[in-house]
């Protein structure tokens, strides 16, 4: 299946872009998606502990299972306001 | 932009979440105060977050805000709706600005109207406190020492 | 009218009690927010008391405010100064309007700036709460049932 | 001695005016001043319990001693805001 990954703030800076299309195996989780991202941008691993994730604009867990066409977002610690 | 109603200050009743917006246009609490006013509102509390010239002991020259726009608007809408359920308020509106902001510019504006002042104060405090925790919005600050991502309480040097 | 400073929104620093006024001119929190802004203020909280169309279950057509003007300005100044001592705020301004006010008009406006939002919220709440207890200002409300003096929690029929 | 008494809101309405000049004996208190006012406007007595008083723009007590030229204000329960 194919998912779109959105990258923001420092995660975007580390990955060198704000959007990545990834091909994942059926049954892949958000954690698997992150591992795939890290394969292409190893420095992102250091942010793992700080990141939250969203799937289709809702906060989700690392073990959330993804479906084809999902939009996953990597959310660094927020600082709006 | 989610404009959920379009009632002026003298409208019979502006209720619920009247406006939630995350974008690059300049914002002000004064504009939102107009939107939340109604004949039955006896109190309007507002809050503006303003870019200030220092943060955690460092001088700040300007800020750059970015957001996951559709999700941040959905989160702000959700926060505003929770505020409507938790307090006896009439109307609430919240705007967050994005892009480069200079010292003195408004980054976030909130207005809440209510029959009584306690609810207006508490709900507007709730909206800003919760926005700061939940909304997928980020700031990068630039000063004489360079550029830093603000990640919660941490400042992390930016490399681009 | 006590205008204790005259610094605009982009002034280096507007500090302390910048404006206290009790009079018949129209007022707004937006105007006061401009006055309390400064380069080091990260938060501006405002409050407006607005004439609403009901009170204690009765319909209200309009209000008339009167004050012991010099004493009410002195009391507001004292309240604002106490707020400056109790919280880490940058500046505070408060206006109270007198005379006949229609539904939707602003009777009291307060703005407080601070580096951080908690102080701005708490101080503005303190100013309105204390004003309502201490300032020698009175309202008379007129509605379909006649005219009433508002004396604290009581409504007492007016005879003139 | 002579004092000026300011009347506000319902106290003003009851007394039919916003300002009264009173001649009081030396050593008179705010309470004596009020008694003198009531002599001219008996209906004001019913407000006694509710009134606060100010002398020269500061809240004062009923037993505060007055001086020649003082300005006394009768302050019904306030309702600003």
* pLDDT at B1 exceeding the cut of 60: no
Q: How far is CA C111 from CA B53, B131, C106, in A?
A: 20, 22, 14
pLDDT score recorded for residue C12: 47
Across the interface, whether the CB atoms of C71 and D73 are under 8 A apart is answered: yes
Whole-number Cα distances in Å, C21 to B43, C69, C101, D56, D75: 19, 9, 17, 19, 20
The pLDDT of D24-48, averaged and rounded, is 97
What pLDDT sits at residue B9? Answer: 41
- Decide: C45 and C98 in contact? Cβ < 8 Å: no
How far apart CA D57 and CA C72 sit, in angstroms, is 8
Q: Is the pLDDT of residue B49 over 50?
A: yes
CB B114 within 8 A of CB B88: yes
pLDDT tens-digit map of B100-158: 999 999 999 999 999 999 999 999 999 999 999 999 999 999 999 999 999 988 999 99
- B139: nearest CA in chain A? A79
Model confidence at C69, pLDDT cuts 50, 70, 90, reads very high
Give helix B117-134 / helix B69-86 axis angle, nearest 10°.
150
Grouping H, G, I as helix, E, B as strand and the rest as coil, residue C157 is: strand
Which residues touch A74 (CB under 8 Å, ≥6 apart)?
A5, A6, A7, A8, A11, A34, A37, A44, A47, A51, A53
Which runs of consecutive H residues, i.e. helices, occur in chain A? 9-15, 30-40
Judged by a CB distance cut-off of 8 A, whether residue C63 touches chain D is no
Nearest-10 Cα torsion for A53, A56, A57, A63: -30
Shortest alpha-carbon distance between residue D33 and chain C (Å): 19
C46's CB contacts (< 8 A; 6+ apart) are: B29, B33, B45, B46, B47, B48, C29, C30, C32, C33, C109, C110, C111, C112, C124
Chain-chain contact of C70 with D77 (C-beta, under 8 angstroms): no
* Range with the poorest average pLDDT among A46-55, B7-16, B34-43, C99-108: B7-16
- Residues with Cβ within 8 Å of B86's Cβ and at least 6 positions away in sequence, in order, are B123, B126
Round to whole Å and give the CA distance between C150 and C159.
Answer: 13
pLDDT given for residue B14 in this prediction: 65
pLDDT in tens, B53-110: 999 889 999 999 999 999 999 999 999 999 999 999 999 999 999 999 999 999 999 9
Q: How far is B18 from chain C (nearest CA, A)?
A: 18
C104: helix, coil or strand?
A: coil
pLDDT confidence of residue C15: 85
The answer to whether C48 and C111 are in contact (CB under 8 A) is no
Question: What pLDDT is recorded for position C160?
Answer: 65
Check: CB of residue B92 under 8 Å from CB of residue B14. Answer: no
CB contact under 8 A, C158 and D13: yes
Instruction: Give the residue on C whose Cα is nearest the Cα of B108.
Output: C43
| B95 min Cα distance to partner chain C (Å) | 15
Question: What's the gap in Å between the CA of B23 and the closest CA on chain C?
Answer: 20
The mean pLDDT of C45-49, rounded to a whole number, is: 98
The span from the CA of D46 to the CA of D34, in Å, is: 12
B46 → closest Cβ in C10, C46, C113: C46
pTM: 0.91
Distance to chain C for D80, nearest Cα, Å: 5
Residues of chain A above pLDDT 70, percent: 100
pLDDT of residue B5: 45
Reply yes or no on whether the pLDDT at C155 is more than 50: yes
**For testing contact with chain B, the best of C11, C47, C56 (most B CBs within 10 A):** C47
Binning pLDDT at 50, 70 and 90, where does residue C154 land?
A: very high
Task: Quick: pLDDT tens for C122-134.
Answer: 999 999 999 999 9
Least CB–CB distance from D73: residue in C68, C132, C134 = C68
- Which residues of chain A have a Cβ shorter than 8 Å from any chain B Cβ? 6, 8-10, 13, 50, 54, 57-58, 73, 75-81
Q: Determine whether the interchain pair D9/C66 forms a contact, defined as Cβ–Cβ distance below 8 Å.
A: yes
């Amino acid at each position: 299946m194919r998912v779109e990954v959105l990258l923001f703030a420092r995660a975007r800076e580390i990955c060198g872009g704000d959007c990545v299309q990834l091909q994942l195996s059926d049954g892949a989780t958000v954690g698997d998606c992150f591992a795939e991202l890290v394969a292409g941008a190893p420095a992102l691993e250091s942010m793992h502990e700080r990141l939250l994730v969203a799937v289709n604009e809702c906060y989700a867990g690392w073990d959330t299972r993804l479906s084809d066409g999902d939009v996953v977002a990597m959310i660094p610690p927020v600082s709006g306001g | 932009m989610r404009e959920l109603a379009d009632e002026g200050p003298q409208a019979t009743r502006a209720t619920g979440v009247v406006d939630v917006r995350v974008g690059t246009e300049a914002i002000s609490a004064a504009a939102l105060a107009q939107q939340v006013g109604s004949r039955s509102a006896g109190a309007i509390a507002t809050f503006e977050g303003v870019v200030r010239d220092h943060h955690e002991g460092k001088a700040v020259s300007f800020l750059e805000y970015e957001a996951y726009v559709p999700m941040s608007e959905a989160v702000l809408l959700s926060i505003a709706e929770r505020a409507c359920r938790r307090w006896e308020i009439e109307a609430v509106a919240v705007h967050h600005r994005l892009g480069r902001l200079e010292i003195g510019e408004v980054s976030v504006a909130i207005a809440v109207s209510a029959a009584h002042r306690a609810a207006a104060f508490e709900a507007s405090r709730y909206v800003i406190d919760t926005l700061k925790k939940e909304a997928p919005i980020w700031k990068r600050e630039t000063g004489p020492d360079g550029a830093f991502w603000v990640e919660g309480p941490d400042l992390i040097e930016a490399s681009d």
